[in-house]
Structures are given as structure tokens and as C-alpha cells.
Chains A and B, each alone.
Chain A
Amino acid sequence: MMNSGQPEFSDQGKTMKNLIACGLAVISAVGAITARAAEVSLSGFATAGYARSDQDYNYQRFVDQQGTFKRDSVLGAQMDVKLNNEFGVTLQGKLAPSMNSDQGVDATVSWAFLSWRPTNDWLIRVGRLRIPVYLQSENMDVGATFDFARLPAEVYSSVQTTDGDGLFVGKTWNLDDYELTLNGYWASAKMHYRYYRRDDAQPLFSAGSYFVPVKSTARGLILTLQRDDDTLRVSAHDIATRITDDQWLPVTFPYVAMMPGVGYYQTTNLLPGPGVQSVADIRAMAYTLAADVAVGNGFRVMGEYVRRNVPDVATGPDSQGAYLALLKPMGAWTPYVSVARLESMERTRSLYNKVNGNSVPAFIPGAALINVSQRAGADGINAYDQTTWALGTSYRLGLNSKVKAEWARTRSGDMSLFIDAPPGGQSGKQVVNVLTFSYNVVF
């Protein structure tokens, strides 16, 4: 499952219009009662990113040996309206490859919120904004603000909720040289989970990507400790996700024995068997640990760990992911090396391996269809097992722009939902080398 995490213009046209209307109404209303004229600040950001792999299948949706600009490119604009010293309104929109289709570009509203800072220590925001799950969550679309050519997918592409509509409250304590901030939020977001079916079995289903619309409601606490440029962060999130169409998530696939040693996993109710129990609602807890600290001699270490606990669904995204990076800023250059790992928990990987590896002999009536259904069922399991090493650098061209280059080598273990396996092939036991170049600017 590659989580889109981004509410879509096409799906949420009404919501977006409502938010814009709400934002404008707020600006008008608060502006009217504010003696000073509002200060408006316009800014923008863009990334032109090119990525190419050494494989003919797609990795992370778009990256193959033909090369693509679709994986990392984005164009965005932001308007900050300062109504007075306490109230402000922020709107951010962006153009980026669609997150509910592998075709086309979507315009989305990332942020639309009213902020209220009644004192130095409190910050209350209402509306749509990015949930600060990871160190770079809030600014992950703005490539000029970090040095990685691509934030590690093993962590950043597995989040369940990124932009949310809701209430965000932050309290800061200044402790001598340290700043401690506790953020809490309650927000919901509509997005899509992406799956890729490798085999074609007409008229039952087609090969290719398909998207499952979901609505997630999340609440969480994020504790951040900062001193100068060093940051430590821990967070906990309670996430309730509802699939909003009829593509419910199977709890597991029951095994149907046909004869000794021969049988199949019932991956669809079109196959005979006791029935596939599916659920529309998935409950998850997510926990993160993060650090970005100087370690001496000009080196920095960044690392993040995320654990998603999905106890009720064997096919769900029950996983843990992490990355560790060493960076060495040297003038305009910041070279880095990183290693990242994402793996589903044993129960999920075991189910994937059993279903994916199962087949019935050709003499069984309907064997071909049964065998395709096994692989299709496996394709719908949120299973990951991959490790990525990356070596890259950013180079600062000026105050507002960076170019970046990276070579990354990803090796999948038994499987990876980030890999679109070719027909009849496997996402497991693959090695993908990806070269990335990007130009990142804010203006």
C-alpha cells in the first residue's frame, strides 16, 4: 500500500471550495475587526525531479528504466495573511502527479487554516494542515528545505495520514537553552491507498494499479525537544481508517483444502469456501521516534523510526520502518549516506508468502483462475520487506535553491508493495538501482 496521504482536488472539490470560502470568510471577518490592514505574504516552491532505475517495472509508482519526472516533481504556492500579531490565515496549494490515479496531475489544497497565538507559548490552528508525524512531514513537499534527494520511502511513504482537517494545538516551554513543544491534534483526511495487481484475469479483474478511497480520522500527541539545530521527537497516533467504497480489506484468507497437500486460499468470495471476512474499518496505533543531531566534526545524524500496529487485520499495514543517515555539511555541499528499512510484521509477511506461493496442479478444474487468484490476493496484502542504501548530495545554489543527486539501491526481501511486479513475476528478491537528480527552489 502506498498511501497517498493527500486529499485530492478531484475527490474533494467541494471540500476545497468550502475551505477556500471559509478561509476567505475568516480573512474578511477578522480583517474587519482588525484595526491594522492585514499583511499578505505570497511565496512558492517547486521541485523538478528526474528519477531513473535499471528495471523495466515501476518502483514507487513511476520510476523505471525509461526515467520519469513524475515521482518527485511538484509546484506549490502559499499565501500567509497576518491579520494581527495573534491571528493569521495560511493557504497552500500544489500541483503534483495525481495520488488517486497513476495518470495526470492534480491541484490540491494542502493547507487552509486559521492560526491563533494568544500568548508566546500557545499556538492553536484550525483547518487543514500537515500532521507533524515525522521530522520533515510539514515541509516534505518543499525540497529546498532539506538535503535528501528523496525522503526515505520506508518511513515517509508509509504514513497513514499527512494532511488533515481538524484542530491542532501546540504548547511550548522554554527551558534555558532548550525548547520543548507538545503538539496535539484531532483531524481527518480523505485519501487513497494504492495497490498493484500484477496479473490479468478477465473478466474478474485487470492487471495494473487500483486505488481504494479511505477516510482516516486521527488524533495524536507529538513531543519535540530542540536545542539550536538539534531535534528529538517522539509521537503517538491513534488512527481510525474507513474504506469508503466496497473494496473492503480482508481480515485474512481462509485455506480451503481440496485434497491432501492441495488447496487454495480463498482470496475472493467468487471462489468456493467458508467466505472471506472483510472489514471497512481499520484501527491502528502509530509510534515514532526521531532525532536530528550534530555528532561532532561537522557531521549530523538523522534517524527516524515508525511502528504501525494494526492488530485486527492480517492483511493490513502492520509494519515498522526506520532510516539512519549521516550528513556532512561542507559549505554549499551536503553529502550524505543513508540506510532505510521497512518490514511488515511476521504475521503479515507469513500470510503473503503462503498465499503468493500457493498454486494448485493443472489437472484441478479452474486451476489457472485459482492460481491467478492467489497472486491477486497476495497483491492486496499490505506487505513490505525492503532495505535501501542511498548515497547523495545536495548543493546550494543560493539562498533559495538547491540541486540534488542521489544513487539509491533497494533490495526487496520476500515482497514489497513499492514494486509493481511484472505479470507472473514477483516483487520479492528484486534489486532496484535508482538515480535521482532534482532542482529545488523556493520563491
Chain B
Amino acid sequence: MKTTIKIASLAVSLAFAQAYGGDIVVIGNGNVPKMDSATIQKIYTGKLISVSGVSVVPVGVKPGMAARNRFLQDFLNQDEEKFTAYWTVRRYIGKGVPPAEMASTAEVISHVQATPGAVGYVDEAELKPGLNVIARK
């Protein structure tokens, strides 16, 4: 009986994770150091371009994707509307453009692995050996 409950509970958890995603983690190229959430926030809002002497370049996924929404909520404490509005103003005051947007988290992983200084975010479930996790919430 106990085992049945555990299996049912696990199944519910997996279904929930599939529907809503697991934790978001921030990954970096091998040359990017570990950092805290506040630093991640400053990188994704254009306030930091280097950390500990390493030039960092953030990337993300396109608006509307679940990973992006959870990243904005967890690390920036913002929603899409506020993030887009922030970068619209920043672009039109001449202070840069928002992080590049990729079509999938798989693309983010490939880009981050291949590009020195690159920083991205993925669902924890997509982590694979060799990825440099630089921040967790």
C-alpha cells in the first residue's frame, strides 16, 4: 500500500514538473565564475558586463516560453511585461539591447558551451554532465 502511494505521488510530481517545469538554473561557459542571484539580475538588466574580470554576455529564450517566464520570476522578480518595458526604455535611451533570444533551451546550452563568457538559463531537468551551473535560486 505504502509503495503504491509513493509511486502515485511520484507520478503526480512528474506530471506536475512536466506541466509547469522544474527549477531554473543559470549556466555559464566554462570561464564564467559562480555568482549570486543579485549578480544574475544585474547581468540580465544590462548593468554588469563583466564579473570578476570575465566579460559576460547573457542569452535567453523567446518571450512566452515557460523557461523564460520562470527565470524572470525567480531571478529578476519580474514578469514579461515589466522586463520588456524595461528593455524598451533602455534601448531608446541608447543603453543597449536586450539579451539575445534563442528558439529553445537546447540552443541556449549549445551557445553557452561554445561561447566564452556566455550565460544562459535552462530547466534543471535539461542539465547534462559538463555544464557549468553558475547560479541556482
Contact = CB atoms under 8 A, between A and B. Distances in A.
B94 interface: yes
A145 B89 contact: yes
A117 B49 contact: yes
Contacts of A174: 42, 47
B88 interface: yes
Contacts of A115: 94
Interface string B84-99: 1100110111111100
A125 B92 contact: no
A85 interface: yes
A43 B91 contact: yes
A125 B100 contact: no
Nearest to B56: A85
A179 B100 CA distance: 25
A442 B88 contact: yes
B48 interface: yes
Contacts of A132: 93
A399 B94 contact: no
Contacts of B92: 45, 78, 138-139, 141-142, 145, 442
Interface residues of A, number: 35
Contacts of A179: 47
Interface in A134-177: 138-139, 141-142, 144-145, 172, 174
Contacts of A43: 91, 97
Contacts of A217: none
Contacts of B91: 43, 78, 80
Given A132-B93, A174-B42, 4 more contacts: A78-B92, A82-B97, A85-B57, A117-B49
Interface of A: 39, 41, 43, 45, 78, 80, 82, 85-86, 88, 90, 111, 113, 115, 117, 119-120, 123, 125, 129-130, 132, 138-139, 141-142, 144-145, 172, 174, 179, 396, 399-400, 442
User: Sorted from nearest, which 9 A-B pairs have the closest CB atoms?
Assistant: A138-B93, A139-B92, A142-B92, A41-B97, A85-B55, A399-B84, A80-B97, A145-B89, A120-B48
19 contacts: A41-B97, A82-B96, A113-B94, A119-B49, A120-B47, A120-B48, A120-B49, A130-B93, A130-B94, A138-B92, A138-B93, A138-B94, A139-B89, A139-B92, A144-B88, A172-B47, A174-B42, A396-B81, A399-B63
